[in-house]
Each structure stands twice: as structure tokens, then as C-alpha cells.
Amino acid sequence: MTVSSDFNSLTSKQKKIYSVIETFIKENGIPPTVREIGEMVGEKTPGAVQGILNRLQQKGVIKREIGMARSIKLVSENSQYAEPVYIPEIKKISKRNVHDLFSIYNVVKYQPLPSDFADSKLESFMISCPDNSLIDSGIKYGDMLVIAKEKMLKDGDIILVLIENSALLRKYYEGDDEDSVILKADSNLLDREIFKEDEIIILGKLVGRYTKY
């Protein structure tokens, strides 16, 4: 285990928490939450765990993103491991939860992705492909999609869109007038392509895909 020189200045309790974080990441592929750290070290008070994490951060052996769950990163010198970003994988999208997609009840887990795969400036999420409407384009039901909440779209972009109460993949094109859009599938399952903007909710742009062969 190679970390910054400040590791030698850690107290025994700080080293213990650093060690359980390291073990958790190796076993699960994601960093633990404050509650999980407390359970592993037998500390029932979240504030006490937060205090130790603050001191670990001050000593330069971990990094954290403010307000982001599972954001702990171990700091090492000359590491050959790229630091991942963690993207929430969500369960479903409906009219009821479309404005609260990242509720703790709708997040399956935070999936690690290469840092250059997901733009940290854009809010992104992962979801299982909901349909086969773009199967001729190589995207099939069950593929894991990476969706970025990109507001600037251009013709031909693949988007995830809520139509009525169904989240669907479509190819986006500007309509003939300002308040309409054209949404195309490889097969026109809805028998309709032109929509008014107030009839749909564009959830984001497809920026990545994981598939099993």
C-alpha cells in the first residue's frame, strides 16, 4: 500500500478507517458510505466517522466531493489506477419520479466509470435500455445506457425521452416550427414522430453504452 507521506502521521483509528475503506473498495468496486464505515469499525455515531474522514482529508490521504454520496477516493503516489467517477444507476423513470430520479429509493447503486467516459460537468445516470426501438442501430433491450442531461442537442443525437408514461430511446431532430421536435425510431412503434415540446420530457443524451455479447 503506497500512499502519501502523511500516512505515517495517522493515528491508529485513522489508519483503521483508511484500511476498511481500502478493503471495501477492493471487494465492492465502490467506496463505502459513512454509515457503512461506522458499521465496519463499530462506530455508531456518524458525526465521529465524519470527523475522522475530515482529518484524513486534511492529511491528504483521501479526497471527497462535497454533497456526493460514495465519493471517497484514496490518494496514492504514482498510482497506475485511473480514478473512476461514480454514476448512479437508476431503477425506472415515470411521471411520478421524473423530477426526482436520484431519490435513494430509485438508485440501484453507484457504478464506477472511467473519468474520461462521463463528463463531470454534466449530471449523468445509468439505466437499463427500456426497449428495442433502436435495435437496428445496435442498441438493444437490457444494454446499460449512460445518459447525460445535456441541454444542447443536435440532429441525430440519441436521447432518452419520456412520452406519456414510458421512457423510450429516440433519435432527435428539430421540428419545422419552434415548439415541435421529431423523434425517430428504427421502427415507428408509436406510429408517430412529431411531438410538441410540452408533450414530452427529454431526460438526456446517450453518451455511452455497456453491452454483453
> Which pLDDT belongs to residue 9?
80
The total of structural domains in the chain comes to: 2
Domain finish residue from 39, 57, 81 = 81
- Domain check: are 127 and 159 in the same one? yes
Strand partners, 127: 145
Average pLDDT, the chain: 85
Cell numbers representing residue 45 in the block = 455515531
- Domain check: are 93 and 158 in the same one? yes
Cell numbers representing residue 210 in the block = 455497456
- The model's pLDDT over 43-82, given as tens digits with 9 standing for 90+, comes to 888 899 999 999 998 888 888 877 777 888 888 654 555 6
Name the pairing type of β-strands 62-63 and 166-174. unpaired
Q: Are 143 and 128 in contact (CB under 8 A)?
A: yes
For residue 25, how far is the Cα from the chain centroid?
17
Q: Are 98 and 201 in contact (CB under 8 A)?
A: yes
- Domain check: are 62 and 150 in the same one? no
Specify the CATH number for the domain of residue 122. 2.10.109.10
Domain finish residue from 81, 108, 141 = 81
| Whole-model pTM over 0.85 | no
- The model's pLDDT over 7-34, given as tens digits with 9 standing for 90+, comes to 678 888 888 898 899 888 888 888 899 9
- Domain range spanning residue 145? 86-210
Question: Which DSSP category does 137 fall into?
Answer: G
Specify the CATH number for the domain of residue 21. 1.10.10.10
Three-state DSSP at 156 gives coil
Cell numbers representing residue 91 in the block = 431503477
Domain finish residue from 57, 81, 105 = 81
- The model's pLDDT over 73-125, given as tens digits with 9 standing for 90+, comes to 888 654 555 667 788 999 999 999 998 998 889 999 888 887 766 665 568 89
